[in-house]
Amino acid sequence: MLLTWPTLRCARIYSSADNSPMLDRFAIALLRPPISTLARGLVRVGMGANTVTLVGFSIGMFAAFLIANEAYIAGAAAILVSRLFDGLDGAVARLTTPTDAGGFLDIALDFLFYASIPLAFALADPLGHALPAAVLLAAFIGTGSSFLAFAVLAAKRNLLNLDFPDKSFYFLGGLTEATETLLFFVAMCVWPEHFAVLAYAFALMCTITIATRLWWGWRTFQ
């Protein structure tokens, strides 16, 4: 999730070098210049951050529809376009007026998008994909709940993540973040016959992320 507008005003600064995301840091650094250029173009034509968020979510739901109907490669393309818009909304917000309402919308719709893709694979092949999709969804619930629980208490304690100061809340990393999730989603579309193996593998990686976040949260808030 590329949530990139500053709304926290934190009195205490906290370094998260021990829990920084695996690939997100490099992906953000690589994509920031072209994303910023595209965002300036959207601002010039009058498109706001919330509109960008809604367009990206709509494309993501279309990706789920395509996957559910076994149009896997088209679904992969739609996922990539959807995530491009997910990066653009924060960049547009920084160039205009960032709001907490926009941050809430982005976070909520991101979670719905991520849940929709395993569900789409289950609908495409209920017999072969339902169980691994359910396991992956359970893992997503774990990563999401640990992520948000830490963010709530970090805001309460005025913690600021130096690694990602532009996030709308404390961004706790882990083994599986947006970039890793995107890569696995695309791989599932390219090799749908291996969905079960990929889903179980990614669920295991998510479990490691959950465990490290629980440990980090317990240590931080003692």
23-33, pLDDT tens digit by residue? 666 667 777 78
Domains and their CATH numbers in the chain: 18-220 (1.20.120.1760)
The string of pLDDT tens digits covering residues 109-166 is 999 999 999 999 999 999 999 999 999 999 999 999 988 888 888 878 777 553 444 4
Residue with tokens 């709940």: 145
Quick check: helix, strand or coil at residue 220?
helix
Enter the pTM of the model: 0.82
Q: What is the mean pLDDT of the chain?
A: 83
CA 39 – CA 18 distance, rounded (Å): 32
**pLDDT at res. 26:** 67
Contact between 49 and 89 under an 8 Å Cβ cutoff? The reply is: yes
Q: What is the mean pLDDT of residues 157-179?
A: 59
Chain length of the chain:
222
Distance (Å) of CA 78 to CA 82, 154, 206:
6, 34, 24
* CB-CB neighbours of 221 under 10 Å: 13
Write the pLDDT tens digit of every residue in 8-51.
323 222 334 344 456 666 667 777 788 888 889 999 998 999 99
